[in-house]
């Protein structure tokens, strides 16, 4: 359980994290995720408006693809941010990184609201937009991975699924808040003013949100798992080759799960609004309201999935979600494209429920795949390389639909479903082969509990486990002694 067979586990060695402290950690970490996805929500719901502000004069379809590309290109910089912040986080602590990334993220989002339009400064407008998104990519590269590691290293083993699920609850809340703000600002100032200057207001709100998040994070202590490391372990620098050799199975599983979750995420929450408006010709405000209702539904379901995963395991939800996505993606898109409002809502609800099977458990699974010494950097780099692939989803899906539509409009409407089916296969394989992580300590870490009483129970379980192993070894020794004696009896010179 401790990751070191020579270490004697004592009651005082087991970290106890009480609920009040854990709530502070979840709030501070979740707010950073909320700010990250607040920008994604604002940007996704303003795609058409931003395409007109930063790419005027272009064909509407080309301008939309360009805006999608501006959303996707910064994902290429996330692995670089993950490598840098991950190394700092493993060497100097998770808390320091999370304090810095939330500053960088909120400032870059705030800066988007200050960029002049194409009509004012020409080509420099989209260039500055891209630069701001690149800075976001660098900061987000360390933000989500750091928050996941921090929360999971803080959470009691028997509550990790439930606690980690609140991180993506923060993500969806931020996305929902961004979409609600866009909807309200549009309703207050009107469409003409929104296209002229109103689109800036949602981006400017990120600064006060970031200030609150920074204050909360600075009040936290370092994670118990990180503090439990010896100082000389933190100073050891593992080479890339050594990390890959020791953690290649975790890296492969992480890639598959991240691609599965984020492809579904971006397809539903970023691509879907423009799909409803451009391809299915829904009213812009109507389509955005529907997506907001879907996100509200997800907020209710996701923590429940995390809670149940502590009872029934993570693998069950990953496998069920992947199978559901493979077999129900096309029926769901048929409902969405049917033209009936209730069928539309049902189709979106199916996709949202499937997505909750991933977002409710993945955050608690990923940190368990890697050892503490290199957990942050390995997870950050692997996660963000995978997100690069998934982050292309809105751009690629938009392009595929546009490319296939001249050949067959009906077929073009189902291209996103086929896209989801392919990623579902990756997730299904990962769910089948991965080891269950529920109710177990993180790799090479001490157990973490929520009370002194639970610590005693864990210690008793640990001793019971040792007794069973000792008994199994003694039985094995007896069997070997019998085999030895049988062989000795058969040899004349050994008797």
pLDDT of 351: 96
pLDDT of 67: 67
Mean pLDDT of the 52-66 span: 69
Burial class (CB in 10 A: 0-12, 13-18, 19+), 6: exposed
Res 232 pLDDT > 60: no
With a pLDDT cut of 70, the percent of the chain lying above it is 93
- Dihedral sign computed on CA atoms, order 359, 365, 369, 375: positive
Q: From the CB of residue 149, how many other CB atoms can be counted at a distance below 10 Å?
A: 31
3-state secondary structure of 449: strand
State pLDDT tens for residues 434-461. Answer: 999 998 888 878 888 887 787 788 778 8
Q: From the CB of residue 117, how many other CB atoms can be counted at a distance below 10 Å?
A: 18
DSSP class of residue 220 equals: P
Please answer whether residues 105 and 143 qualify as being in contact, where contact means their C-beta atoms are separated by less than 8 angstroms: yes
Top-confidence residue, 58 or 423: 423
Name the band, by pLDDT with cuts 50, 70 and 90, for residue 72: low
Mean pLDDT of the 11-24 span: 80
Res 34 pLDDT > 90: no
State pLDDT tens for residues 133-185. Answer: 888 888 888 888 999 999 999 899 999 999 999 998 988 888 888 888 888 89
Residue 286 CA to residue 283 CA, distance in Å, equals 5
Mean pLDDT of the 185-192 span: 87
Backbone angles phi, psi at 222, to 5 degrees: -65, 160
Mean pLDDT of the 8-31 span: 81
State pLDDT tens for residues 235-290. Answer: 555 666 777 788 889 999 999 999 999 999 889 987 888 888 888 888 777 777 88
Burial class (CB in 10 A: 0-12, 13-18, 19+), 346: middle
pLDDT of 361: 95
Top-confidence residue, 238 or 484: 484
Mean pLDDT of the 298-307 span: 94
pLDDT of 63: 65
Q: From the CB of residue 285, how many other CB atoms can be counted at a distance below 10 Å?
A: 13
Kindly report the average pLDDT of the chain as a whole number. 85
DSSP class of residue 441 equals: P
Top-confidence residue, 63 or 52: 52
Q: From the CB of residue 114, how many other CB atoms can be counted at a distance below 10 Å?
A: 11
pLDDT of 236: 56
Mean pLDDT of the 113-141 span: 86
Mean pLDDT of the 420-424 span: 94
pLDDT of 2: 46
Name the band, by pLDDT with cuts 50, 70 and 90, for residue 3: very low
Q: What is the pTM of this model?
A: 0.82
Residue 395 CA to residue 271 CA, distance in Å, equals 8
State both tokens at 368: 């368990």
Res 330 pLDDT > 80: yes
pLDDT of 62: 65
Top-confidence residue, 393 or 359: 359
Vertex 134, ends 132 and 139: CA angle to 5°?
95
């Amino acid at each position: 359980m401790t990751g070191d067979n020579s270490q004697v586990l004592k009651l005082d060695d087991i970290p106890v994290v009480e609920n009040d402290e854990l709530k502070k950690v979840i709030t501070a970490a979740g707010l950073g995720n909320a700010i990250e996805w607040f920008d994604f929500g604002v940007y996704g719901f303003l795609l058409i408006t931003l395409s007109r502000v930063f790419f005027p004069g272009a064909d509407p379809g080309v301008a939309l693809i360009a805006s999608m590309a501006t959303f996707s290109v910064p994902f290429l910089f996330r692995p670089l941010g993950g490598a840098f912040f991950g190394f700092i986080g493993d060497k100097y602590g998770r808390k320091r990184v999370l304090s810095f990334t939330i500053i960088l993220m909120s400032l870059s989002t705030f800066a988007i609201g200050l960029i002049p339009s194409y009509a004012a400064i020409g080509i420099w407008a989209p260039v500055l937009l891209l630069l701001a998104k690149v800075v976001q990519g660098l900061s987000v590269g360390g933000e989500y991975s750091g928050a996941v590691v921090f929360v999971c290293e803080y959470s009691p083993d028997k509550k990790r699924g439930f606690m980690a699920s609140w991180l993506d609850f923060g993500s969806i809340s931020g996305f929902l808040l961004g979409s609600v703000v866009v909807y309200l600002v549009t309703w207050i100032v009107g469409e003409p003013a929104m296209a002229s200057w109103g689109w800036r207001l949602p981006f400017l709100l990120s600064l006060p949100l970031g200030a609150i998040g920074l204050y909360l994070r600075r009040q936290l202590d370092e994670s118990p798992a990180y503090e439990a490391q010896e100082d000389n372990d933190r100073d050891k620098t593992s080479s890339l080759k050594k990390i890959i050799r020791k953690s290649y199975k975790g890296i492969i599983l992480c890639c598959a799960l991240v691609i599965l979750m984020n492809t579904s995420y971006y397809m539903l929450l970023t691509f879907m609004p423009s799909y409803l408006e451009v391809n299915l010709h829904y009213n812009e405000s109507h389509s955005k309201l529907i997506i907001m209702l879907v996100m509200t539904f997800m907020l209710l379901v996701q923590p429940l999935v995390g809670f149940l995963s502590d009872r029934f395991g993570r693998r069950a939800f990953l496998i069920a979600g992947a199978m559901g996505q493979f077999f129900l993606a096309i029926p769901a898109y048929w409902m969405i494209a049917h033209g009936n409002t209730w069928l539309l809502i049902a189709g979106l609800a199916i996709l949202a429920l499937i997505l909750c099977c991933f977002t409710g458990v993945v955050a608690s699974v990923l940190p368990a795949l890697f050892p503490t010494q290199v957990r942050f950097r390995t997870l950050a780099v692997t996660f963000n390389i995978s997100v690069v692939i998934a982050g292309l989803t809105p751009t690629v899906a938009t392009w595929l639909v546009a490319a296939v539509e001249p050949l067959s409009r009906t077929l073009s409407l189902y291209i996103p479903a086929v896209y989801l089916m392919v990623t579902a296969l990756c997730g299904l394989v990962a769910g089948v082969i991965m080891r269950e992580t529920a109710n177990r300590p993180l790799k090479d870490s001490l157990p973490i509990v929520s009370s002194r009483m639970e610590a005693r129970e864990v210690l008793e379980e640990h001793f019971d486990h040792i007794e069973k192993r000792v008994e199994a070894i003694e039985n094995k020794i007896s069997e070997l002694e019998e085999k030895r004696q049988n062989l000795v009896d058969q040899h004349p010179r050994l008797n």
